[in-house]
Structure 1
Amino acid sequence: MRCTQCDGTDLQPGFIEDGGEHSRGYSRWIEGPLKVGLFGGARRMGKQRRAIEAYCCTRCSHIELFVRRDD
């Protein structure tokens, strides 16, 4: 992997924390455009959810995000 900002090759793995109320502690990617429900929250029912992999470039501090594949 390479950083898309500086072309560095030393990307440190990590994760994006979700500290919201009732959160699981990590963020997820949800398929499709954001649609807001009746009470203002995101409508997620029936949509595929995948974990997000995050990597930080040790050279320029840019963060790269990838959706984890279901391999």
Structure 2
Amino acid sequence: MQITIKYFGQIAETTKKTEEIINFEGETIFELLELLYIKYDSLKHKEFQVAQNEELVSETTKATGKDIAILPPFAGG
């Protein structure tokens, strides 16, 4: 399946992209992240959250092919 991934903040700086479409054959967010870690090695050292279809999800969540957002840590205040 094709998945659109959107990168924000310091994650966009790391990937040097704000958005990309990738072909993904896995099933979970964990597998998707493993693919991204191979493509962007320095992403392994960043803290971030993953949203799918505008909801925060865990690594065990099934990837549905909806839009994925990689979000930097939120600042409190």
State the TM-score, normalizing by the size of structure 2: 0.20
State the TM-score, normalizing by the size of structure 1: 0.21
Quick check: which one's helix share is greater?
2
Q: Tell me which of the two structures has the higher relative contact order, counting C-alpha pairs closer than 8 angstroms and 6 or more residues apart.
A: 2
Name which one, 1 or 2, has greater alpha-carbon Rg.
1
